[in-house]
């Protein structure tokens, strides 16, 4: 599937701002890449081909630990080729794919198939999460250990919570012997009911059924108690409420192996966006967009590191599926290709964070959470990185995306930062907005 790529495979990126969140260092210089690996970070050697990095950041191996690429079985929404291209276009060298496909990824053979397909496409490392329970049905544990042997890097019934406390206890007990965590979509569905947006002043004004913040918080409190009971490894997906953060803070204060992620859309938007976009389902996500008071708490938790990671929750749907009345449309938006710019806009402009602290949440932190050993910018390590123009300010244009899904609450919003190239194992996956593989677009 890969088209012929250029040259010798030796590249020198010159005069680039090297941002190394793995080691919390930044410097201006040249980076030499060859034979698929970082070769020389002082870069005295020359390469046959060079790329000017002037005005750009070089950021090693961005990992999005929460994406839905929909294959096998839902290729009308997205497939591994279009999803890989979207990831490369978004600057990512690796993604963790959620297993709520059809069939659900709950056996080693499906894990192996996704990895092999990802390798064949060759644009991004596809790192599958396996299901926690068989068919994500919440009745019986799946074969976690066997899936890990096949290459699964985490376990989740995302889209559905593991509601049964006994099963969650068992899963967390197993996780103590696994490298990857149990990733919980924390939601008490008996509380969220038929809610389609956050329950509050805005939902009342719009006349839409609400989901109380407590639907998330009560589940996270249960799960951290079970993490304490089992010494298990719990990762809380897409945290969106102050109540959940209090539970996570309690867990961390007690030394538990609990981590958390937040999405760019929960950092950027509030439930007012539902009104601003006049009931367009591009604001319908689960967990829902929250009020400004929640967003402020999320921002501070992301800044402080209480929230370890940022992950897109890229959840593409076909345009026809999303083109329904708000109450009927599915939850989820296409967000791989806005994630980096949204995070830079919030982190640099709104929070005045330094880039090393900000970008650790999309690089070293997700690798650590998933038990992956990638070391970043050291000679001999896989040459995976993004080149980013941190000062570009462009309105979001889904017409340029590679994802099959274009549903986004960011349409037309000016964001700071543009990914201009992505390299995977020493080969360009994307340059100047173009994904370098034939037959994808
Ligand atoms: Zn989820």
Residues of the chain with pLDDT under 50: 1-5, 438-441
129 in Cβ contact with 155 (< 8 Å): yes
pLDDT of residue 226: 98
Q: How far does residue 258's CA lie from ligand 1's centre (Å)?
A: 17
313 is catalytic: yes
Residue extents of the structural domains in the chain: 11-58+380-435, 61-369
Rounded CA-CA distance 107/14 in Å is: 45
Give yes or no for a contact between 251 and 239, defined as CB atoms under 8 angstroms apart.
no
Per-residue pLDDT at 7: 56
How far does the centroid of ligand 1 lie from the alpha carbon of residue 230, in Å?
Answer: 23
271-279 — which CB contacts under 8 Å span 24+ positions? 271/197, 271/198, 271/200, 271/202, 271/203, 272/202, 273/409, 274/197, 274/202, 274/206, 274/208, 274/326, 275/202, 275/205, 275/206, 277/409, 279/206, 279/208, 279/325, 279/326
- Any idea what the Cα angle at residue 123 is, between residues 117 and 125, rounded to 5°? 65
Cα of 378 to ligand 1 centre, how many Å? 34
CB-based neighbours (< 5 A) of ligand 1, an ion: 158, 185
Strands 385-395 and 57-60 turn out to be antiparallel
- pLDDT, tens only, 108-156: 999 999 999 999 999 999 999 999 999 999 999 999 999 999 999 999 9
User: In whole angstroms, how far apart are CA 171 and each of 68, 131, 284, 360, 434?
Assistant: 22, 11, 30, 28, 42
CA–centroid distance, 123 to ligand 1, in Å, is 25
**Active-site residue, from 313, 323, 384, 391:** 313
Choosing among 3.90.190.20, 3.40.50.300, 2.60.40.420, 3.20.20.140, the CATH entry for 61-369 is 3.20.20.140
Asked if residues 388 and 362 have their Cβ atoms less than 8 Å apart, the reply is no
What's the gap in Å between 266 CA and the centre of ligand 1? 13
Q: Give the CATH superfamily of 11-58+380-435.
A: Urease, subunit C, domain 1 (2.30.40.10)
Helices (H) and strands (E) in the chain, counts: 15, 19
Each residue's pLDDT tens digit, 54-90: 999 999 999 999 999 999 999 999 999 999 999 999 9
Q: Please state whether beta strands 197-198 and 49-52 pair in parallel, antiparallel, or not at all (unpaired).
A: unpaired
pLDDT at 44: 67
pLDDT of residue 41: 74
Distance 359 CA to ligand 1 centre (A): 22
């Amino acid at each position: 599937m890969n088209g012929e790529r250029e040259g010798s495979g030796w590249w020198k990126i010159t005069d680039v701002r090297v941002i190394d969140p793995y080691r919390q260092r930044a410097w201006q210089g040249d980076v030499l890449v060859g034979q698929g690996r970082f070769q020389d970070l002082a870069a005295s050697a020359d390469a046959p081909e060079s790329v000017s990095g002037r005005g750009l950041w070089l950021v090693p191996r961005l990992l999005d630990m929460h994406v839905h690429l929909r294959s096998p079985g839902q290729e009308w929404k997205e497939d591994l080729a279009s999803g890989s291209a979207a990831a490369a276009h978004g600057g990512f060298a690796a993604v963790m794919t959620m297993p709520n496909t059809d069939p659900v990824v709950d056996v080693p053979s499906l894990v192996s198939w996704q990895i092999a397909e990802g390798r064949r496409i060759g644009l991004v490392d596809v790192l599958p999460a396996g299901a926690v329970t068989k068919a994500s049905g919440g009745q019986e544990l799946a074969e976690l250990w066997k899936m890990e042997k096949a290459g699964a890097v985490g376990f989740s019934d995302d889209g559905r919570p593991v509601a049964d406390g006994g099963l969650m206890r068992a899963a967390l007990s197993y996780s103590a012997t696994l490298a990857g965590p149990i990733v919980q979509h924390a939601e008490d569905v008996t509380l969220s009911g038929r809610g389609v947006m956050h329950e509050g002043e805005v939902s009342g004004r719009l006349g839409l059924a609400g989901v109380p913040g407590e639907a998330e918080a009560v589940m996270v409190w249960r799960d951290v108690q079970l993490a304490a009971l089992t010494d298990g490894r719990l990762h809380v997906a897409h945290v969106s409420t102050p109540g959940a953060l209090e539970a996570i803070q309690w867990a961390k204060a007690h030394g538990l192996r609990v981590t958390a992620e937040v999405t760019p859309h929960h950092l950027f938007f509030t439930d007012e966006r539902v009104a601003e976009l006049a009931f367009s389902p591009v604001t319908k996500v689960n967990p829902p967009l929250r009020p400004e008071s929640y967003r402020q708490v999320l921002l501070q938790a992301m800044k402080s590191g209480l929230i370890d990671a940022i992950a897109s929750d890229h959840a593409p749907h076909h345009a026809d599926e999303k083109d329904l009345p708000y109450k009927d449309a599915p939850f989820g938006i296409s967000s791989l290709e806005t994630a980096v710019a949204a995070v830079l806009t919030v982190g640099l402009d709104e929070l005045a964070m330094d880039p090393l602290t900000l970008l650790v949440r999309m690089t070293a932190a997700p690798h650590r959470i998933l038990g992956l050993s990638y070391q970043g910018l050291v000679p001999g390590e896989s040459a995976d990185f993004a080149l980013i123009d941190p000062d570009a300010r462009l309105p979001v244009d889904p017409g340029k995306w590679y994802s099959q899904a274009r549903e986004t609450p960011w349409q037309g919003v000016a964001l700071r930062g543009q990914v201009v190239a992505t390299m995977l194992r020493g080969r360009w996956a994307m340059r100047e907005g173009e994904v370098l593989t034939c037959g994808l677009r």
